[in-house]
Amino acid sequence: MKPDAPTLVDMTTHDIDLAVRATGLVKQFGDQRAVDHIDLEVRRGEVFGVLGPNGAGKTTMLRMLATLLHIDAGQALVFGHDVRAEPHAVRRLLGVTGQYASVDENLTATENLWLFARLQGLGRAEARARGAELLEQFDLAEAASKPISAFSGGMRRRLDLAASLLTRPPLIFLDEPTTGLDPRTRGQMWDTIRDLVRTGCTVLLTTQYLDEADQLADRIAVIDRGVKVAEGTADELKSSVGQSTLQIQVADPADLPLVAEEVRRLLGEDVVLTPEARRVNVPLARTDQSVDVLVALRDRDVAIESVTVQKPSLDEVFLALTGHDTQDPSHDDVTTTDPTDQTDLQMEAAR
Amino acid sequence: MSSLTVPERGEMSVSDPTADLPSRVGLADTLSQTLTLAWRATMKMRRSMEVMFDVTIQPLVFTGMFAYIFGGAVAGDVDSYLPLIITGLIGQTVLTACVATGVQLRTDMDTGVFDRFKVLPIARIAPLAGPMVADLLRYFIASVLTFAVGIAIGYRPGGGVLGVAGAVLLAMLAGWSLAWIFTLFGIVGRNAQAVQGISLLVMFPLTFLSNAFVPTDTMPGPLRAFAEVNPVSLVITAIRDLANEGAVTGNVGWALLGCAVVIAVFAPLSVRAFNRKM
């Protein structure tokens, strides 16, 4: 059962304010519909996140908008230019960085940027200067004349992004920009994307991670099996599945009723008790409320064994929006193997 | 690793999305993009020399081998076979180099960088034509080496320096034209192995059902008919006229026409197949 998608489309928005306007996009691969009547409006200057699990149709949709895949039905406009009718004009407005680095393995970083700059009509001197400038900005100057095969994953992504920015395109597509990166490199990539937006760029990014969409995107569309199931800000999406959860494990199960009482007094909320695991789950409107609860429990001399605060995960958002989890798009049922997880999921879904 | 920050600068602002945009690539831009991609292909050749084996080792080995194995049987002695076989081998070697053009294109198309070529506002033909322009260098090396080995084992081209230079030029032009056939296979083939397979299947009849190694007049009727209109035969005949006689004959005209026909048929097919893949 799919709840109606909460849409935030402002009907008074004019085309000129839109970087991307897609209506009824369809892509059919054999008898499988990879993209099924998706509407999308990306406003100029915003970061728009497309969130979904593997195989949801995110990349397919992005490739259609980027003139890389034929649009089977529907219409897509990029700054008012029809993607199907004017692919060349659309390509001039776009920078695309794919899931896998699309740079030339046989060339050095400098040579790669020079190649792509020259192909886009920059003069020799300009191409050289712009390449050097970008290598400096992306912290690649030291590796400028090394072969790409010696680059780390993060360096490749950065070079790839630099190659997309040579002509300062007003619209950037980022296909899962941090998938496979370590947390530190991921944070650096996020900073880079934020800086990009500061220069006036519009960014359309796909991601599997709710926290990435949360960190970067002004608005998010959730896509599942080729269908848009929800759209809104990160806060709107998260409130549709509930806020953070404080999970407390007490030393003595006899304390559990006391915990429940304190929480009701402090937050006015009913808790979910799991006596066999000596555990309570406390729904929090704000994460800092966890401190009030813990302080109160210490005052009542409740011995606590462990404490965790969990934010809703993509899995939970997904479960709430689509009725199935992210890992198994072929089933509508919840198939969670870990019984404790299932308790959490059911609790989130119940709200 | 130091932290990654983009300095805020006025000049970093993006280009205006509402500016007028050309809907096609002009001829001058197409040419410049092709040459840029040819530069890329030569950089690649320089860094992986094994792709040059078919135009270096092969002419060295095949020229001596064919001359000494077939010479006595076909022409009575090696020396009188040389004017026939050296020019024939140029056709054969260049054709082999064309096969590599297609296979390398397939390998290249499977790498990530082609995705970027597809999304750049460049002429659709440039990623095809660029490597083909760079391959002119390979055809040049192949034909010059074949002539050199021939001369080393006693071949004396009657056309002199100018005749040989003309023959080399024609061989390069023919290589570029015939490469369109294998470029098409490169685009439509499932993978590099498949492309290699189809290409060899086409290359062998084109080479052996020609006048490259033996005169066509001993072949049975239908084979002979094919051998005489085979563009490879037309090119080899013209190369013989240039290198051995120093004469720009009607055969050179026929060879050029043959090349033009191959381009007229296979270039549009290749570009269309390529666009469909893109």
Domain ranges (residues) in chain B: 27-43+50-277
Q: Does the pLDDT value for residue A129 go beyond 90?
A: yes
Amino acid of residue A28: Q
Residue A333 has what pLDDT? 34
Q: Which residues of B touch A169 (CB under 8 A)?
A: 14-15
Q: Determine, yes or no, domain membership for A10.
A: no
Least confident of A35-44, B77-86, B99-108, B159-168: B77-86
Q: Does the pLDDT value for residue A2 go beyond 50?
A: no
Strand order across the beta sheet in which A81-82 lies: A32-43, A18-29, A73-78, A81-82
Residue A326 has what pLDDT? 58
- Same domain, residue pair A146 and A161: yes
Tell me the pLDDT of chain A averaged across its residues.
82
Which whole number is the average pLDDT over B205-216?
82
Which whole number is the average pLDDT over B212-240?
85
Residue A323 has what pLDDT? 67
Residue A324 banded pLDDT, cuts 50, 70, 90: low
Residue A109 has what pLDDT? 93
Residue B185 has what pLDDT? 92
Which whole number is the average pLDDT over A273-285?
81
What proportion of chain B, given as a percentage, has pLDDT over 90?
21
CB contact (8 A) between residue A200 and residue B13: yes
Residue A309 has what pLDDT? 84
Least confident of A55-64, A255-264, B60-69, B227-236: B60-69
Which whole number is the average pLDDT over A35-63?
91
**How many Å lie between the alpha carbon of B240 and the closest alpha carbon of chain A?**
39
Give the helix ranges, DSSP H, for chain B. 27-47, 53-75, 78-109, 113-119, 126-152, 160-188, 192-208, 221-229, 231-240, 250-277
Q: Does the pLDDT value for residue A336 go beyond 70?
A: no
CATH of the domain at A232: 3.40.50.300
Residue A6 has what pLDDT? 45
Residue A338 banded pLDDT, cuts 50, 70, 90: very low
User: What is the spatial distance between Cα B4 and Cα A137, in angstroms, rounded to a whole number?
Assistant: 7
Residue A23 has what pLDDT? 92
Q: Is B19 exposed, middle or buried (0-12, 13-18, 19+ CB in 10 A)?
A: exposed
Which whole number is the average pLDDT over B99-108?
87
Q: Does the pLDDT value for residue B157 go beyond 70?
A: yes
Interface of B with A (CB under 8 A): 1-8, 12-18, 21-25, 29, 32-33, 36-37, 39-40, 43-44, 47-48, 111-122, 126, 278
Dihedral in degrees, nearest 10, Cα atoms B111, B116, B122, B128: 0
Which whole number is the average pLDDT over A10-27?
76
Which whole number is the average pLDDT over B12-40?
81
Q: Does the pLDDT value for residue B7 go beyond 50?
A: no
Distance of CA B162 to the CA centre of its chain: 22
- Same domain, residue pair A209 and A346: no
- Same domain, residue pair A204 and A253: no
Tokens of B143: 């034909």
Which whole number is the average pLDDT over A43-49?
93
CATH of the domain at A258: 3.30.70.100
Residue A19 has what pLDDT? 92
Helix B126-152 × helix B160-188 angle, to 10°: 140
- Same domain, residue pair A107 and A47: yes
Least confident of A103-112, A119-128, A232-241, B259-268: A232-241
Q: Determine, yes or no, domain membership for A1.
A: no
Tell me the pLDDT of chain B averaged across its residues.
84
Q: Does the pLDDT value for residue B180 go beyond 60?
A: yes
Residue B10 banded pLDDT, cuts 50, 70, 90: very low
A241 versus A303: the higher-pLDDT residue is: A303
Residues comprising chain A, all counted: 351
Q: Does the pLDDT value for residue B15 go beyond 60?
A: yes
Best interface-test mutation with B: which of A104, A105, A122, A193 has the largest number of B CBs within 10 A? A104
- Same domain, residue pair A231 and A284: no
User: What is the spatial distance between Cα A63 and Cα A175, in angstroms, rounded to a whole number?
Assistant: 9
Q: Does the pLDDT value for residue A204 go beyond 90?
A: yes
Residue A233 has what pLDDT? 87
- Same domain, residue pair A201 and A262: no
Closest CA to B237 of B124, B83, B59, B112: B83
- Same domain, residue pair A73 and A213: yes
What proportion of chain A, given as a percentage, has pLDDT over 90?
30
Angle at B60 between CA B57 and CA B65, to 5 degrees: 120
Residue A15 has what pLDDT? 60
**How many Å lie between the alpha carbon of A298 and the closest alpha carbon of chain B?**
41
Residue A30 banded pLDDT, cuts 50, 70, 90: confident
- Same domain, residue pair A91 and A229: yes
**How many Å lie between the alpha carbon of A229 and the closest alpha carbon of chain B?**
29
Distances (CA, A) of B189 to A301, B199, B275: 74, 10, 15
- Same domain, residue pair A220 and A115: yes
User: What is the spatial distance between Cα B271 and Cα B187, in angstroms, rounded to a whole number?
Assistant: 9
Which whole number is the average pLDDT over B180-207?
88
Q: Determine, yes or no, domain membership for A339.
A: yes
User: What is the spatial distance between Cα A152 and Cα B132, in angstroms, rounded to a whole number?
Assistant: 32
Whole-prediction pTM: 0.76
Q: Residue A87: which domain range? A: 15-239
Q: Does the pLDDT value for residue A7 go beyond 60?
A: no
Residue A325 banded pLDDT, cuts 50, 70, 90: low
Residue B113 has what pLDDT? 86
CB contact (8 A) between residue A16 and residue B21: no
**How many Å lie between the alpha carbon of A220 and the closest alpha carbon of chain B?**
23
Residue B48 has what pLDDT? 76
User: What is the spatial distance between Cα A217 and Cα A238, in angstroms, rounded to a whole number?
Assistant: 13
Chain A residue with the nearest C-alpha to that of B1:
A139
CB contact (8 A) between residue A103 and residue B25: no
Count chain A–chain B contacts defined by CB atoms under 8 A.
126
- Same domain, residue pair A201 and A312: no
- Same domain, residue pair A219 and A310: no
Total structural domains within chain A: 2
Which whole number is the average pLDDT over A9-27?
74
Residue A327 has what pLDDT? 55
Q: Does the pLDDT value for residue A134 go beyond 50?
A: yes
- Of A81-85, B81-85, B204-208, B271-275, the range with the highest mean pLDDT is A81-85
Which whole number is the average pLDDT over B11-38?
79
Helix A124-137 × helix A109-119 angle, to 10°: 130
What proportion of chain A, given as a percentage, has pLDDT over 70?
84
ipTM above 0.85, yes or no: no
Task: Give A142-168 pLDDT, tens digit per residue.
Answer: 999 988 888 888 888 889 999 999 989
Q: Determine, yes or no, domain membership for A6.
A: no
Q: Which residues of A touch B117 (CB under 8 A)?
A: 119
Task: Give A210-249 pLDDT, tens digit per residue.
Answer: 888 888 999 999 998 899 988 888 878 777 766 678 888 8
CB B266 within 8 A of CB B176: no
What proportion of chain B, given as a percentage, has pLDDT over 70?
93
**How many Å lie between the alpha carbon of B263 and the closest alpha carbon of chain A?**
25
Q: Does the pLDDT value for residue A33 go beyond 80?
A: yes
- Same domain, residue pair A257 and A160: no
Angle at B126 between CA B120 and CA B127, to 5 degrees: 75
Residue B125 has what pLDDT? 86
